[in-house]
Amino acid sequence: MESRFEISSASVAEIRRSIEAKVISYDEALSTAFDRMGQLDKEGPKLNALLSLVEVDEVHLQQERSKPLSGIAFLAKDNIDTQDLPTTAGSLAFEGLPASSDAPIITLMRSLGATLIGKTNLSEWSNFRGIYSASGWSGVGGQTRNPHRLDRSPGGSSSGSAVAVAAGYVPIALGTETDGSIICPASVNGVVGFKPTHGILPTEGVVPISRTQDTLGIFARSVLDVEIVYSALIDKLGKGALFGEGSASTNLSARPQPTPFRIGVPRAGFFGYSPKSDLVFEDVLIALGEAGILVIDDIATRAGSDLSFNIGHELLVLRWEMKQELGKYLSARGVEGRSSLEEIVDFNRDNSSREMSFFGQEHFLAACEMDDSYRSDYEVARSTNLGHTRGEIRKTLINGDVDFLLVPSMGPAWLIDHICGDVIAGSGYSLAAIAGLPSINIPIGDVFGLPVGMTLFGDAYSDLHLLRVASRIQEILSLKLLPGFSTSSGL
């Protein structure tokens, strides 16, 4: 390590080793994060990745010096409650307003010694307000920008968290996912994004959409960093037993793990939405095979499974559960005139020149209509979609005799467009999201300088094994995708 510690490229493990070797102090490890953000703000482009920051002096006062993550600065998506910084979900309805208490995940991170230094911009209301939204835009923060190409989308909805890690602000950041909100921005920003098994990390204090799909997750530049943080959280929660219990017939993580790893690649429905990304993915499959990982192609056909889902069912589930869960959250938040979904709809209308200049609130309006007459439809949609996706993924893994499934995450970042909204041709992350299963984006290369990634996913509670396999894959690829902060494609 150089005498001057460089946070923009350092891993969690490197930071910890440098502190223990007294190459840097705890204070220096944190100060460099602020230095990096300040340098880019003055000399570089405006990324709009951050919504709020703590004061440097307050950070040093809060320092824990003998914990597993001491000296590690982190950022959190601004839909995660904090009492010392505003929690807005990107909406002007909560601009400048902290929550009454920290979300449990913030308390956990702090108990491990990690230091929260700020909150990140996001797709407002986690991209579930209006249909024609542009990822990474919020009323509070404006448009987050992709550090690899400033005119390209940062993805969403955990836009600022992924951008902050890619730009070297911090080694780790927290995000959330309902369907793609971790994997998507991780892929287009060239970083690792991990979504654990649903329900492992506590989501209390997170502005909700869906109780059956909302999941907290972690962004980092390496899978190893994710594993360090996630393992520490699991140990703190006392949930380590979840990853070793169960019989082989019900919990794949309990099976004896074969060597070499066996990975299945489903084809139908996962390819063709970005031919250039597909070519990068095919090269990766060759590299994995040459490194000794067994890649079983067209695994769904071999296993006789159907890896599809009903988007209409998912939409109904999300709208129904948003009406229930967001209503409870807003009521508990207790801000006058903002204590129900209907009041937020009214606020947006009253402030439409700022809140709805680019897109509307169709999802909110549809959610407001979800009364008891929709209950039976909701229950059918939820049981059918969840049961089908979970069952067919497990069938694929067992009948195909593989540990995990591997697919392209999505294509490269699209142009930011506030007139027409996002243009996404397809993605590979929805199955795991709907089924509540663990998934991770691994960067695999670029298309004309724009990062692309692939998604590895598997059965419930296979999280730690998933991370070990993903770490091995990242080691094989030995890839670094550094942002160029360029203003146009140059093509």
Segment 103-143, tens digit of pLDDT: 999 999 999 999 999 999 999 999 999 999 999 999 999 99
Asked whether the predicted pLDDT for residue 364 surpasses 70, the reply is yes
Q: Is 187 a catalytic residue?
A: no
Tens digit of pLDDT for each residue in 466-487?
A: 999 999 999 999 998 999 999 8
- Given 31, 52, 135, 157, which residue is catalytic? 157
CA dihedral sign of residues 12, 17, 22, 23: negative
Contact 340, 331 (CB under 8 A): yes
- Predicted pLDDT of residue 256: 47
Q: Is 340 a catalytic residue?
A: no
The DSSP H or E segment spanning 37 is: helix 26-43
- Given 8, 18, 52, 77, which residue is catalytic? 77
The residue among 167, 128, 171 whose CA lies nearest residue 144 is 167
Asked whether the predicted pLDDT for residue 319 surpasses 60, the reply is yes
- Predicted pLDDT of residue 399: 97
Least trusted range by pLDDT, from 36-40, 110-114, 410-414? 36-40
- Predicted pLDDT of residue 40: 76
**Which residue type is seen at 433?**
A
The DSSP H or E segment spanning 198 is: none
Where residue 193 falls among pLDDT bands split at 50, 70, 90? very high
What integer best gives the mean pLDDT of the chain? 92
Dihedral angle of Cα 164, 78, 71, 462, to the nearest 10 degrees: -90
Q: Which residue has the tokens 């697919």?
A: 407
**Which residue type is seen at 97?**
L
Where residue 250 falls among pLDDT bands split at 50, 70, 90? very low
Q: What is the mean pLDDT of residues 264-270?
A: 95
Q: Is 181 a catalytic residue?
A: yes
Q: What is the mean pLDDT of residues 2-17?
A: 75
The residue among 480, 466, 392, 488 whose CA lies nearest residue 195 is 466
- Predicted pLDDT of residue 255: 43
pTM here is 0.95
- In terms of pLDDT, which residue wins out, 165 or 21? 165
Asked whether the predicted pLDDT for residue 252 surpasses 60, the reply is no
Q: What percent of the chain has pLDDT over 70?
A: 93
Asked whether the predicted pLDDT for residue 20 surpasses 60, the reply is yes
In angstroms and rounded to an integer, the radius of gyration of the C-alpha atoms of the chain is 21
Structure tokens at 182: 């971790």
Angle at 183 between CA 134 and CA 396, to 5 degrees: 130
Least trusted range by pLDDT, from 44-58, 157-171, 359-373, 393-407? 44-58
**Which residue type is seen at 233?**
L
Contact 160, 404 (CB under 8 A): no
Asked whether the predicted pLDDT for residue 281 surpasses 50, the reply is yes
- Given 181, 222, 409, 439, which residue is catalytic? 181
The residue among 166, 249, 157, 151 whose CA lies nearest residue 195 is 157
Contact 465, 481 (CB under 8 A): no
Query: Measuring CA to CA, how many Å separate 256 from each of 251, 350, 403?
Result: 11, 59, 10
CATH placement of domain 12-477? 3.90.1300.10
- Predicted pLDDT of residue 44: 72
Q: Cα separation of 360 and 324, whole Å?
A: 21
- In terms of pLDDT, which residue wins out, 134 or 247? 134
- Predicted pLDDT of residue 149: 97
CA dihedral sign of residues 273, 279, 282, 284: negative
- Predicted pLDDT of residue 253: 44
Q: Cα separation of 136 and 413, whole Å?
A: 12
Asked whether the predicted pLDDT for residue 349 surpasses 70, the reply is yes
Q: Cα separation of 335 and 97, whole Å?
A: 9
Helix (H, G, I), strand (E, B), or coil: what is residue 296? strand
The residues near 214 (Cβ < 8 Å, ≥ 6 apart) are 176, 177, 178, 198, 203, 206, 208, 325
